[in-house]
Chains A and B, each alone.
Chain A
Amino acid sequence: MAGIINIGVSALNAFKRQMETTGHNIANVNTEGYSRQVVQLDARSPQISAQGYIGSGVEVASIRRSYDSYLATRVRDYTSSYEEFAVFEQRARQIDNVLADSAAGIDDTLQQFFASVNDVADDPTSIPARSVMLNRASQLGDRFNALDGWLEDIRHQLNGDLEREVGEINALAQSLASVNTRIGALNGTPGGIPGDILDERDKLIDDLSKFTNVSTLEQGDGSMNVFVGTGQALVVGGNYNTLAVTNNTQAADHKELVIRQSGGLTVNVTQQMTGGSLGGLLRFRDEVLDESQNALGRVAIGIASFFNAEHATGMDLDGQIGGDFFSAASPQILADPGNSGSIVVGFDDPADLTTHEYELVYTGGSWSMTDLDSGASVALSGTGTALDPLVADGMSIVVNAASNGDTYRLRPTRAGASSLGLLVTNERDIAAAEAVRTQDHSGNAGTGHIGAGAQTSSSGTSLPATPITLTFDGSLNQFTVSTGGTLAYDPASDTGSTLTVNIAGLGDFSFTMTGTPADGDQFQLSSNAGGVGDNRNARRLADLQSAKMMIGGTATFANTYGALIADVGTKTNQAAGNVSVQSHLLSQAEAAKSEVSGVNLDEEAADLVRFQQAYQAAAQVISVANTLFDSLLSAVRR
């Protein structure tokens, strides 16, 4: 009798526990990270009797959570990849949207500027046309400045995001360490480690996987060691290391990540923090943001350099040689604090500029340069003196002093876009005319004729109004230059060729010479002052729009800007493709995990019915035992 009651009671307890667990499952149907729990029942040990073993009811063996660590790891891996691409795409899209926008991008303003240069070429004496050109030029500068400022804002925001994410990772690491401690303490106790605490731990690791790649190693006591990035220990048992954001030694605006270990050791892990939103942010910065800002700067520097060079060979309305038209910053030199030498970096040929950053190091008496984006070493020509500077990738480097170990980070074009500005303020100072005027002397006897001249290099001082004469010496086949020197010209073979004469202190002048001059014939070069209707230099300036001068002489200014749009567009497009693939993989992995761990309300409802019925049956067993007992008592009472 007592046996029946005991069996009944054991069943009631067991089924009640099952119903409680079902209720717990239903209660947590919307709890993130919750794993469905299942009560495992065992038949109690039977009791021996003369007839054999008699069953003695049921007992709760354990309450286990349905959890598959392999599936959980997969979800974390895909979460990290998904977050990385999603953050990358979202940030890159910001830039993508703006670059081709006609209200914010460069191309429309660039076209308008060159249209205004063309209008000056059509009508070089018109002050209104010149005034429009200055306005357009200043608008162009403003647009570059604004776009660069906007990229700088994105960088600022990104640096703030790095701090915030590192803070969140540290908070998670701290929580994980404390959960590990609790798990370690519960290990070996009679109830074992509750599934809900394990869920809490796994949920923390899931959360961590949104920020960075995560790998785990479960310890004997049930605690979990957690590694981030490519394997940096974050949590070991009850201890954790903290991540921190620091400045790059040379570039304060370039943030890096370090792990501070409990022993006080600090390790730079910027390259190792892959995956997750943190990895996405770092990759966006290195692949899109830096590149875009440098590429924009390259366009600005190209425009300023080539426009200034051409402008300096022309003459303005007042007979002055054209001055610098645009301003643009020189390459950024970021010196290591430990340096004791110093260098000066300028531009060699803007056509050779890249969008990369470089590291320049002085070791063992020689300089070496590394492209920080590709990691390749860059060949340096020259010796580094002012007359023979070190030249590489469009930069020329003059070394003032060097000592072993000096390290510089060079950003040739970073400051280009923010510094582009207009230097000419007076409309009359636009050098639309050619600087030089050529003339055959009226008394010449031969058939020699000097063609239109051009100034090919300038010291900034114009030719004098009194002509410089070239007098032909028929016996030596050469011209004697009135300012000194000679210039060879053989009428038999050189007719139609371009001759260039250097006039000390003024620059180089070139012109074509045709025919056969008689001995003593004179040809004149003089300042083109008063040639206000001359548009030759304005036309050359306007022609810069379609001249392929950039990227090694293969691209126009607009092409160079187009390359930036294509680069950002392609990267955004690729990231968007990856996001959709990763989100598909992630939802599959989540489905697979929830197939094991998730709560299905219909299933729980069916279970509830099943357990209720079993409970009712067990109660019936007790009721039967009661009836038997009553029968026995009433038999005895008689």
Chain B
Amino acid sequence: MRISTSQFFQQSVDAMLARQRELSQTELQVASGKRMLHPSDDPSSAVRVLDLKESQQRLGQYQRNADAAYAKLDQEETALLSIENLLQRVRELAVRGVNDTLSDEDRSAVAAEVREHMENFVQLANSVDSNGEYLFAGYQSLTKPLTHDGAGGFTYNGDTGQRMVKIGDSREVAMNDPGSSVFMGIAAAAGGTTNIGEVLYNLASNLEAGNGDSNAIADIDTAFSSLFNTRAKIGARMTAIDDQKNANESFDLAVAEVRSSLEDLDYAEAISRFNQQLTALQASQQSFLKIQDMSLFNFLR
């Protein structure tokens, strides 16, 4: 077989260029740490990586949602705990109030303290979070939820809305409780329904009129259990958020592993490939040098 001289040069150069291309591809892989430099290197894996990236982003979003819900629930729980403590004190006062040995002056002093607690209660029921949103107003979060007309009329101005957030693919939690279910609609010992504000107001009024109020004690106990129920629900939600966060984290870890197996480089393999390709390039350069030196013309002198 004849080999033309220019063809021989061209082939040698082509071979060296091919070695260099391979080497540069490996070098880029090593430098970036990525197995796939472009989607065309492995189209199906590239698209899977996109999906996995989105999963990770979504899991990250769930964690942020969970943190936001947790913070809000924490504030709500604190407010409810304060109200419980307040009611605890008021219950003691109510018990003292029914004691027949109490003088009228003492009763009015007790009544004054109850009134103080009532004002406090209204403030707590109108608690705002760090964003200035009312905690217990339902969706009407910029409307003051509880107003008192000064004569024992307590109005709930919010609605029954519960803001839900997604903390997992199929898991949502409520991040608030509307005041309507926490403070209002309490079954009254005297029949019908009442609300915490009204109970406190009536207690104070009765004490001022020199009367004990045994219904108040029963109503406060009912209010207690309503508050306690709500707090139990909040506690359960906070536990659920913790659980879900852990679940999300381990899911994220699993996704990250799959993603890494698809797009990350096996360094051991890549480095040995790099060395192999380097040797091949050097060999083709050296053999080219040796052969191109050989020419019959060198011997014709």
Contacts and interface: CB of A to CB of B under 8 A. Distances in A.
A531 interface: yes
Interface in B6-55: 6-7, 11, 14, 38-44, 46-47, 50-51, 53-54
B50 A562 contact: yes
Interface in B51-72: 51, 53-54, 57-58, 60-61, 64-65, 68-69
A556 B51 CA distance: 10
Given A601-B295, A602-B295, A122 B6 contact: no
Contacts of B42: 569, 573
Contacts of A29: 5-6
B244 interface: no
Interface stretch (A113-121, A175-183, A234-242, A273-281): A113-121
Interface in A408-463: 433, 437, 439
Contacts of B166: 118, 121, 539, 542-543
A532 interface: yes
Interface string A70-87: 000000000000000000
A125 B133 CA distance: 8
B38 A97 contact: yes
B211 interface: no
B74 interface: no
A533 B40 contact: no
Given A590-B7, A600-B5, A603-B2, A96 B141 contact: no
Nearest to A111: B57
B140 A531 contact: yes
Contacts of B64: 115, 118-119, 122
Interface residues of B, number: 51
A565 B39 contact: yes
A595 interface: yes
User: In this complex, which of A97, A531, A590 has the most chain B Cβ atoms within 10 angstroms of its Cβ?
Assistant: A531
Given A125-B133, A562-B47, A99 B54 contact: no
Contacts of B6: 29-30, 594, 598-599
B165 A122 contact: yes
User: In this complex, which of B54, B140, B297 has the most chain A Cβ atoms within 10 angstroms of its Cβ?
Assistant: B54
Given A545-B54, A570-B43, 16 more contacts: A93-B38, A97-B38, A100-B50, A107-B50, A125-B133, A437-B139, A531-B161, A533-B176, A558-B54, A568-B39, A569-B41, A569-B42, A590-B7, A591-B11, A598-B5, A600-B2
18 contacts: A107-B50, A530-B139, A533-B142, A536-B164, A539-B164, A562-B50, A566-B46, A568-B39, A569-B42, A570-B40, A572-B38, A595-B2, A598-B3, A598-B4, A599-B5, A600-B4, A602-B5, A605-B300
Interface of B: 1-7, 11, 14, 38-44, 46-47, 50-51, 53-54, 57-58, 60-61, 64-65, 68-69, 131-133, 137-143, 159, 161, 163-166, 176, 295-297, 300
Going nearest first, the 8 A-B pairs with the smallest beta carbon separation are A598-B4, A533-B141, A569-B43, A569-B39, A572-B40, A531-B139, A534-B139, A605-B296
